[in-house]
Structure 1
């Protein structure tokens, strides 16, 4: 099996192998971002390397600082799943995501949102 790289920065890489996404630090630490129904479609790493985002079936934000790899999920609840095809960063804790319909939507979050898993979003 081969991994496919979705995003890379100086100190981190986001990869997926089929439906499972992983963030890997340059020092060898790895954290599971989670499973996606269908392969993840997009990822980005914050320009300040504080967090990363992986999208496809919903969106998962993961902390890159300490504690490394804690994640928060958005748009993944049964009956409310959003299929996301692209991501772009718009601020220190803000991004835009593009849905299947081609429309871009904003998401602004707090630093704390990437410090604990939050499945109810």
Structure 2
């Protein structure tokens, strides 16, 4: 396997996170070391690398959190089918669950404590045609 095989989800100056089908990987650019983060059911939908390269997250049917070689597989039922993510600060991210599902929402996740809280519902896309591009 090499970098050309991996579908890139996020990239910083030092790291790349991506997937090949259900398996997620992180690549260190300085050494080209490829480390498997873990696997999700179905293809990974999104990825995010901390602005300080301290952690990365990939998500889809569940959430994988990688911190310097250790992976936590978070199977919180509220965070099923995450479609998009963004970093809020050094320890929290916001996750958008499938906007076309019955209960779409934006959630806050503390990557260190794994505590979650609902920020808001997200009903903007209900009854709308599917698209990869939308604002949230």
> TM-score, normalised to structure 1's length?
0.78
Q: Residue 52 of structure 1 corresponds to which residue in structure 2? A: 56
**Where has structure 1 moved over 3 Å in runs of 4 or more?**
none
Separation of aligned partners in 1, 2:93 and 2:108:
6
Deviations, residues 90-117 of structure 1 (Å, cap 9, x unaligned): 011100111113421001132x77xxxx
- Between the aligned partners of 1:20 and 1:14, the Cα distance in structure 2 is 11
| 3-state SS of paired residue (1:91) | coil
Work out the CA distance in 2 between the residues paired with 1:7 and 1:69: 17
Flag the structure with more relative contact order, 1 or 2, with Cα contacts below 8 A and sequence separation at least 6. 1
Pairing partner for 1:100 from 98, 101, 115: 98
How far off its partner does 1:57 sit? 1.4
Residue equivalent to 1:117: none
Count of aligned pairs between the two proteins: 105
**Normalization by structure 2: what TM-score?**
0.70
Structure 2 residue runs without a partner (length 5+): 115-136
Structure 1 residue corresponding to 2:85, chosen from 74, 84, 87? 87
Instruction: Work out which of the two has the higher radius of gyration on C-alpha atoms and give 1 or 2.
Output: 2
Gaps of 5+ in 1: 114-121
Number of the residue aligned with 1:75: 75
